Amino acid sequence: MLNFAKSASDARRAWIGVGVPILVLVVGIIVLAVATFASFARDQDETFERASTTLVASGLEGRARAEGNIGLDNANWQDLFDNVSVRWNQAWVEANVYSSVAEGMIIFRADGAVRYGWFNEQFEPQRAALAEAAIHAATRVPNLRRLARAPTPAETVTHTYARVGDQLLVIAVIPVTPEDETARIARNPLRGYDYLAVMEVITPEDIARAGHNMSLDGFSFVQPGQETPSGVISYPVAAADGVQVGELQWRHTHPGAASFQRSIWPVIFGLIGIGVLTVLIARRLVVRQVGAVAHAEAALESSRIKSEFLARVGHELRTPLNGIIGYAELIHEENETPATRADAERIIAAARHLNHLLSDILDQSRLDANRITLKNEVLPVVGMLSEVQGLMRPSARSAGVTLTVQPSATANYAFADHVRLRQCLLNLVGNAIKFAPRGNVAIKTRIESHPDRDMIVFDIVDDGIGIAKHDLPNLFEPFSQANASVGETYGGTGLGLSISRDLARAMGGDVTVTSELGKGSTFSLAVPVASAQALRAA
């Protein structure tokens, strides 16, 4: 009951610790999404304002250039120059100064004197007002008298704007010059120039039609100085001298804001739904996690208790066991009866085997509890091989196994714990002897290069029974052997390989195996090579 209450309390605390941040995160995401959409909408609105203004300006500029091209074709015409500026020929002018695309053409002097004017039939009734507005704007073009001496004919063209009622006049102004550029530039400016003004009259209907073509709502031309209404974009139209003649206006449709209003609520509702779903999933996961943590803690506590139990029992058993070994050895030494000595030998062998098992169990419990203390030092590989060979020679002789050592000339010094490295080698060589009766076991060394550090590898090679591939994953599990038949035939606790691998990894190396059933096995124990710094310190 107490554990249940504790689990519920832990779940509640974990839920508060996880659920509240999730809710805060969802709210933050909603706020961020709204801010992002609003910023995007603002950018779209600003983009529309810039793009539509550029479109209007480009359209007006295009009309001015078109009028300029019409005027340049006429003004930079030798016949016009001869019949206007060299000698005035009224009949020729009336017969040739007109256009099928322009609304009006006026020949005037820089002082404003009109020498000739032509308007198409539609605007003939407004001749006087149009001519007056056009000449007033044209004569106020800055540097008008210098246009004729521009480097190229195209640079002699300029334009300006004027207003007549609710109509906008686009006016191109070009000096009447000879076709020959040298003659044009060399002409004496004191003699004065005649100028040709070509105009287009943009009526309210034309403006409305242009707005439709540009997809601009409420496109119109209004008088200057009026206050721009809210939600309206205006583009000021100024004459060449900077005097504003009017404003082109159109409605700001705010496409970004409209899209924002249409899209934001589904997004908000979707985020809220995702948030609620996330909270529910998180709650379920928290409950499961708390349960898993409780089980894990219980398992860890059980493992700790087991390790402590094994350690205490092992130590308690070792004392009487050593006494048994001592008394058995004493009986063996002092008694000359063959049967009694044989019994004493059996007692000694069984006790030593039990002592070895206790040592393995204690080592495994220490490894599980991370209580193994290592003292790595520089170890001569040849000396280590000689030591292991000497210790294992009696076991190999009794099993009829030929034990050989084949050291490498390059594998000189290892950096490991002496006692633990010897323990690993003894375990591996003892296994090889046990599973290769009347066979051959070789201990070889080599250097294996790795990106971070070179390793010395001890290969324990036997030609024994071998191991099937599907049994290899079980080898290094504590209290496990390749298969049940091996344990029944050869005995053992299944701790030696597990302890050897854990110790090797604790020293910075590893134990691996390659084997083929019926052809033997190779167990490779890798430990770090002693560095130059470690060698100097040794």
Pairwise CA distance, residues 200 & 172, whole Å: 9
* Strands annotated E in 420-479: 440-448, 455-462
Q: Please answer whether residues 349 and 395 qualify as being in contact, where contact means their C-beta atoms are separated by less than 8 angstroms.
A: no
Selection from 16, 101, 111 nearest residue 67 by Cα: 101
Q: Please answer whether residues 386 and 500 qualify as being in contact, where contact means their C-beta atoms are separated by less than 8 angstroms.
A: no
Q: Where in the chain is the domain with CATH 3.30.450.20?
A: 76-253
Three-state secondary structure of 505-534:
HHCCCEEEEEEECCCEEEEEEEEEECCHHH
Task: Quote the tokens at residue 300.
Answer: 């860890």
Look at phi and psi of residue 225 and say left if phi exceeds 0, alpha if psi is from -120 to 50, else beta: left
Q: What is the residue type of 536?
A: R
Pairwise CA distance, residues 463 & 441, whole Å: 7
Selection from 289, 108, 96, 265 nearest residue 199 by Cα: 108
> Domain 76-253 belongs to what architecture?
2-Layer Sandwich (3.30)
Selection from 505, 515, 514, 502 nearest residue 476 by Cα: 502
526 contact partners, CB below 8 Å, separation of at least 6: 448, 455, 456, 457, 458, 504, 509, 510, 511, 512
Q: Where in the chain is the domain with CATH 3.30.565.10?
A: 372-537
Q: How far apart are the first and last CA of the chain?
A: 60
| pLDDT tens digits, 428-446 | 998 899 888 889 999 999 9
Q: Please answer whether residues 134 and 161 qualify as being in contact, where contact means their C-beta atoms are separated by less than 8 angstroms.
A: no
Pairwise CA distance, residues 99 & 96, whole Å: 9
Q: Please answer whether residues 464 and 430 qualify as being in contact, where contact means their C-beta atoms are separated by less than 8 angstroms.
A: no
Pairwise CA distance, residues 465 & 482, whole Å: 12
Pairing verdict, β 440-448 and 413-417:
unpaired
Task: Quote the tokens at residue 261.
Answer: 């209003």
Pairwise CA distance, residues 504 & 497, whole Å: 10
* Chain mean position to CA 413: 45
| pLDDT tens digits, 181-196 | 887 777 766 667 899 9
Angle at 1 between CA 304 and CA 280, to 5 degrees: 90
Angle at 24 between CA 23 and CA 25, to 5 degrees: 90
What is the per-residue DSSP string for 9-33?
HHHHHHHHHHHHHHHHHHHHHHHHH
Query: Phi/psi at 170 (nearest 5 deg)?
Result: -105, 120
Q: What pTM did the predictor assign?
A: 0.49
Q: Please answer whether residues 127 and 148 qualify as being in contact, where contact means their C-beta atoms are separated by less than 8 angstroms.
A: no
Selection from 281, 280, 213 nearest residue 250 by Cα: 213
Q: How many angstroms separate the Cα of 478 from the Cα of each of 469, 473, 497? A: 19, 12, 8
Three-state secondary structure of 92-107:
HHHHHCCCCCCCEEEE
36 contact partners, CB below 8 Å, separation of at least 6: none
Q: Please answer whether residues 148 and 140 qualify as being in contact, where contact means their C-beta atoms are separated by less than 8 angstroms.
A: no
CATH classification code of 372-537 = 3.30.565.10
Pairwise CA distance, residues 197 & 153, whole Å: 16
Task: Quote the tokens at residue 393.
Answer: 């020679």
Angle at 505 between CA 500 and CA 508, to 5 degrees: 130
Pairwise CA distance, residues 373 & 420, whole Å: 10
The pLDDT tens digits along the chain (538 residues) read 445 455 566 666 666 666 677 777 777 777 777 777 677 778 887 888 888 899 999 999 999 999 989 988 888 889 999 999 889 999 999 999 998 888 999 999 988 899 999 999 888 889 999 999 999 999 999 988 888 888 888 899 999 999 999 999 999 999 998 888 887 777 766 667 899 999 999 999 998 999 899 888 889 998 887 777 888 889 999 999 999 999 999 888 876 666 666 666 676 677 677 777 776 776 677 667 766 766 766 666 666 666 666 556 555 565 676 667 676 677 767 777 777 777 776 776 666 656 655 665 665 566 565 667 788 899 999 999 999 999 889 889 988 999 999 998 888 899 999 988 998 999 899 889 988 888 999 999 999 998 888 999 999 999 988 888 888 877 777 765 555 555 554 545 567 788 888 889 989 999 999 998 888 999 999 999 988 887 777 6
Pairwise CA distance, residues 530 & 538, whole Å: 10
* Chain mean position to CA 365: 45
